[in-house]
Amino acid sequence: MTATNENYTNLIDLSKKTALLSSISSLLEWDQETYMPTEADNFRAEQLKTLASLVHNSKTSPAFSSTLSQLIDIKSGKILAPDLTEGQNRSLRRWRRDYIKDTCLPLEFVEQMAGLTSLSLTTWRKAKKENSFNDMQPMLEKMVGMCRKKSRSSWLQRTPL
C-alpha cells in the first residue's frame, strides 16, 4: 500500500469514528423527541454536550489535521496526492471544507450550543402545550444569540474556498 493510500485509509478510519459518534448523538436526539421522560432533560443535555465535544475533538484532532494535510493543502485546497481517483479528491475537498468550518468554532461554543439546543426542545414543548410564547422567549433569545455568535465566527468570513 502506498503512503497516499495509507493516509487516505487512515482518514476514512478517523471519519468513521466521527460518524459513529454523530449517529449516537442523533439517536439520543430522536429519543428525546419521542420517548424520553421530561425529567431527564438536564441529563440528556449533558449527554449531548459530551457527544458534541467528542465529535468536535475528533473532527479537529491533530491526527485528522495531520493526515488530511498530507493529502490536500489545507490553506489552498490543492490536492497533494496525485494517485487518487476523482471521487477521492472530492472527498478530500469535502473533508477540508468541513475541517476549516469546524476549527472556526471553539469547543466551548460547540458544547454550549448542543446543551442549549437540547434544553430548548423541552422549553418549546412546555410553552407550546401552555400556548405561552413568554415561556419560550428567553430560550429563543439565547438561541438567536448563539446563532449570531456562530455567524460572526463563520468559516465563510475567514477562508475562501
pLDDT level of residue 153 (50, 70, 90 thresholds):
confident
pLDDT tens, 26-44?
A: 999 999 999 999 899 999 9
Q: Distance (Å, rounded) from C-alpha 29 to C-alpha 12?
A: 25
Q: 3-class SS at 161?
A: coil
The pLDDT score that the predictor gives to residue 136 is 95
Distance between CA 49 and CA 110 in Å, rounded? 8
Q: What mean pLDDT do residues 128-138 have? A: 94
Q: In the Cβ-directed half-sphere of 140, how many Cα atoms lie within 13 Å?
A: 9
Question: CA 95, 48, 28 angle in degrees (round to 5)?
Answer: 95
Residues 58/18, Cβ–Cβ less than 8 Å: yes
| pLDDT, mean over the chain | 93
Higher pLDDT, 47 or 82: 47
Q: Does the structure show a pLDDT above 70 at 158?
A: no
pTM over 0.85: yes
CB 136 within 8 A of CB 127: yes
